[in-house]
């Protein structure tokens, strides 16, 4: 319920009549759902068609129009336009039809939206902070109209999905992640903020494109880049002291060191490193229920040695240590192939983040050669390179393993290391498969397989909810371990029988509440929570979740 008094209109846009400004505010606007009484109170009579439509009827109209749009990119722009004018209705549609809407508002369609960002740009969302704002970031952040920001997703656009450097066009990623924080994790959209740090781009096509919306200059690097990020982080902590800051799609050379630099100073995490790790580990825990094995008995070969792969391996090592291995023994179970072949100790000039996984072994020039040498029980693709899990690779995995684990996690769909159909066909239906972007169910040998989607949306919204609800001071690795275990425990036997190693996406809000509860347990155990522990943590999380229902406007007495 919203009380309307003489102060109600003070925060609305003063550049247009205040009743019209209400219709232009997506957090307050209800469109044709305003009642006759509200139209009188708010001076809206005549500004809307006379018939009142409930939110249910509005949703029906949105879905009918959505179904008429043949192209996914135009469906994306249609939904973004809805979010720009009526956030409650947008989230009602997304939550009620998540399995249909998530591939549109996030992967895989968001990748194309970022590539076409200058063409489809309609209305700004979030904040753009560029090198031109250096020295004045406090003032830029002060321009954001909402003071109680609890979740910020920030990118510098250098490594967008598997698409590379998209500069300021990468804003589609924080916008999409913020939408999932609300739709999947129940974070109030009024407390969220997507941010792009425009430090330039090295993408020649963008530098030469007159419609590119970012700075047409080369990327800031070295000490100048670090000073820019430091000013940004400092400004955020001053302006939004209760905010969780999520780093997203930074280049490998910056992602690891920024996480190390800030993780013990502010409440922050890197979803590409830690969120990806948790969702992958959850899938592996589910896979162990299928194979009957233990994690410590597995050997994993990664294709791609960037932040996602190393993040997954680090969490796997922690999980194997829980099962009794030493750190050295656990690391020996994880191997990497990068663009130069198998990562081994004898190789020169290895990046720092690869060194813990550079083992004493003969080199291997190709992924197929490495599979033949190491005979892993699972292969995990995080390379961004499509079709690298070739038929010989997958068939060889099936020769070594009764139930080979095939995780093709690169996004968007076109960058997947193999398709679900290929994984099932080339293993005679024995693969335990997961992908980063969605694949349709596969019919093979009279059986229907429902591929698991190892999407970070299973993890980061719940982690965010747990951190925000407890106002935890830091985000720890133990929280992601707890999130992975909680997610795996929500997979039932019916899911496993269908080949699915994650719960249905339609259950994501309940999944997020359970994960938030597990994260909160860690926050209280580590004395990181800033609010008193409630009697029923799960109920506390469920009650904290935003519901996209319209509020009543009433006159004050």
Domain count, the chain: 3
Query: How high is the pLDDT of residue 10?
Result: 61
Query: Helix or strand or coil: residue 551?
Result: coil
Q: Are 258 and 197 contained in the same domain?
A: yes
Provide the pairing of β-strand 341-342 with 127-130.
unpaired
For residue 526, tell me if it sits in a domain.
no
Residue with tokens 């998209």: 166
Q: What 8-state DSSP symbol labels residue 275?
A: I
Contact 301, 378 (CB under 8 A): yes
Q: What is the distance between the alpha carbons of residues 460 and 177, in angstroms, rounded to a whole number?
A: 9
Q: Are 304 and 448 contained in the same domain?
A: yes
Give all strands of the β-sheet with 341-342 in edge-to-edge order.
Answer: 341-342, 334-338, 300-303, 378-381, 405-408, 432-435, 452-453
Give the helix/strand (H/E) hosting 493.
helix 493-497
Query: Helix or strand or coil: residue 469?
Result: helix
Cα–Cα–Cα angle for 112, 159, 340, rounded to 5 degrees? 115
Contact 112, 412 (CB under 8 A): yes
Token pair for residue 16?
């247009």
The domain boundary, picked from 99, 123, 140, lies at: 99
**Residues contacting 202, CB < 8 A, separation 6+:** 165, 218, 219
Q: Are 180 and 33 contained in the same domain?
A: no
Contact 307, 385 (CB under 8 A): no
pTM: 0.94
What is the separation of C-alpha 257 from the centre of its chain, rounded to a whole number of angstroms? 20
Q: Are 47 and 118 contained in the same domain?
A: no
Query: How high is the pLDDT of residue 47?
Result: 95
Q: Are 268 and 320 contained in the same domain?
A: no
Q: Are 137 and 250 contained in the same domain?
A: yes
For residue 263, tell me if it sits in a domain.
yes
Query: How high is the pLDDT of residue 115?
Result: 95
Query: How high is the pLDDT of residue 11?
Result: 57
Query: Helix or strand or coil: residue 215?
Result: coil
Residue with tokens 């109920």: 539
For residue 463, tell me if it sits in a domain.
no
CA atoms within 13 A on the CB side of 243: 27
Q: Are 95 and 113 contained in the same domain?
A: no
For residue 520, tell me if it sits in a domain.
no
Q: What is the CA radius of gyration of the chain?
A: 24
Q: Are 290 and 263 contained in the same domain?
A: no
Query: Helix or strand or coil: residue 71?
Result: coil
Q: Are 263 and 176 contained in the same domain?
A: yes
Q: What is the distance between the alpha carbons of residues 380 and 357, in angstroms, rounded to a whole number?
A: 15
For residue 201, tell me if it sits in a domain.
yes
CATH number, residue 288? 3.40.50.720
For residue 253, tell me if it sits in a domain.
yes
Give the helix/strand (H/E) hosting 483.
helix 477-489
Q: What is the distance between the alpha carbons of residues 39 and 46, in angstroms, rounded to a whole number?
A: 9
Active site residues: 106, 177
The domain boundary, picked from 245, 272, 299, lies at: 272
Q: Are 9 and 82 contained in the same domain?
A: yes
Query: How high is the pLDDT of residue 5?
Result: 62
Q: Are 187 and 304 contained in the same domain?
A: no
Print pLDDT tens along the chain (557 aa): 677 665 666 655 555 667 888 899 999 999 999 999 999 989 999 999 999 999 999 999 999 999 999 999 999 999 999 999 999 999 999 999 999 999 999 999 999 999 999 899 999 999 999 999 999 999 999 999 999 999 999 999 999 988 999 999 999 999 999 999 999 999 999 999 999 999 999 999 999 999 999 999 999 999 999 999 999 999 999 999 999 999 999 998 999 999 999 999 999 999 999 999 999 999 999 999 999 999 999 999 999 999 999 999 999 999 999 999 999 999 999 999 999 999 999 999 899 999 999 999 999 999 999 999 999 999 999 999 999 999 999 999 999 999 999 999 998 888 999 999 999 999 999 999 999 988 999 999 999 999 989 999 999 999 999 999 999 999 999 999 999 999 999 999 999 999 999 999 999 999 999 999 999 999 999 999 999 999 999 999 999 999 999 988 887 75
Query: How high is the pLDDT of residue 13?
Result: 58
Q: What is the distance between the alpha carbons of residues 424 and 431, in angstroms, rounded to a whole number?
A: 6
Token pair for residue 115?
């590539």
Q: Are 254 and 170 contained in the same domain?
A: yes
In the chain, the N- to C-terminal Cα span, in Å, equals: 14
Which structural domain range is residue 147 located in? 102-272
């Amino acid at each position: 319920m919203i009380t309307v008094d003489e102060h109600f209109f003070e925060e609305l846009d003063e550049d247009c009549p205040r009743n019209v400004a209400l219709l232009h505010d997506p957090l307050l606007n209800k469109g044709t759902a305003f009642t006759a009484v509200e139209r009188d109170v708010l001076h809206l009579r005549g500004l809307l068609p006379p018939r009142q439509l409930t939110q249910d009827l509005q949703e029906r109209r949105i879905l009918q129009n959505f179904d008429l749009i043949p192209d996914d990119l135009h469906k994306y722009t249609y939904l973004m336009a809805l979010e720009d004018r009526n956030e409650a209705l947008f989230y009602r549609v997304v939550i009620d039809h998540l399995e249909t809407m998530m591939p549109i508002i996030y992967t895989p369609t968001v990748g194309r939206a970022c590539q076409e960002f200058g063409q489809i740009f309609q209305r700004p969302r979030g904040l753009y902070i560029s090198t031109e704002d250096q020295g004045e970031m406090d003032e830029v952040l002060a321009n954001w109209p909402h003071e109680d920001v609890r979740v910020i997703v920030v990118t510098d656009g250098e490594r967008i999905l598997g698409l590379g450097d998209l500069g300021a066009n990468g804003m589609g990623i924080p916008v999409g992640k913020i939408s999932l924080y609300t739709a999947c994790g129940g974070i109030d959209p009024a407390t969220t903020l997507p941010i792009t740090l425009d430090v330039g781009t090295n993408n020649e096509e963008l530098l030469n494109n007159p419609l590119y919306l970012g700075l047409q200059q080369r990327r800031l690097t070295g000490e100048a880049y670090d000073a820019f990020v430091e000013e940004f982080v400092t400004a955020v902590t001053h302006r939004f002291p209760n905010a969780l800051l999520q780093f997203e799609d930074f280049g490998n050379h910056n992602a690891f060191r920024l996480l190390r630099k800030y993780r013990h100073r502010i409440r922050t995490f890197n979803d590409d490193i830690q969120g990806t790790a948790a969702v992958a580990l959850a899938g592996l825990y589910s896979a162990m229920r299928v194979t009957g094995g233990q994690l410590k008995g597995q050997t994993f070969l990664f294709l791609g040695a960037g932040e996602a792969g190393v993040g997954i391996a680090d969490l796997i090592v922690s999980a194997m240590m829980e099962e009794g291995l030493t750190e050295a023994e656990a690391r020996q179970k994880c191997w990497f192939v990068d663009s130069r072949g198998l990562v081994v100790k004898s190789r020169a000039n290895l990046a720092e983040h690869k060194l813990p996984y550079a083992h004493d072994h003969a080199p291997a020039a190709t992924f197929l050669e490495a599979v033949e040498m190491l005979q892993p029980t699972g292969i995990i693709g995080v390379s961004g390179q499509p079709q690298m899990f070739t038929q010989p690779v997958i068939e060889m995995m099936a020769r070594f393993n009764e139930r080979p684990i095939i995780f093709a996690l690169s996004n968007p769909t076109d960058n997947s290391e193999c398709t679900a159909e290929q994984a099932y066909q080339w293993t005679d239906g024995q693969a335990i498969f997961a992908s980063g972007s969605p694949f349709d169910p596969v019919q093979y040998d009279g059986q229907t397989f429902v591929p698991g989607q190892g999407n970070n949306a299973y993890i980061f919204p719940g982690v965010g909810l747990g951190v925000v609800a407890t106002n935890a001071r830091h985000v720890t690795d133990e929280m992601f371990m707890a999130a992975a275990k909680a997610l795996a425990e929500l997979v039932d036997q019916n899911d496993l029988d269908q080949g699915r190693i994650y719960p249905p996406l339609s259950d994501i809000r309940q999944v997020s509440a359970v994960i938030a509860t597990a994260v909160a347990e860690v926050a209280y155990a580590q004395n990181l929570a800033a609010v008193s522990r409630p009697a029923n943590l799960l109920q506390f999380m469920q009650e904290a979740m935003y519901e996209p229902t319209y509020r009543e406007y009433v006159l004050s007495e």
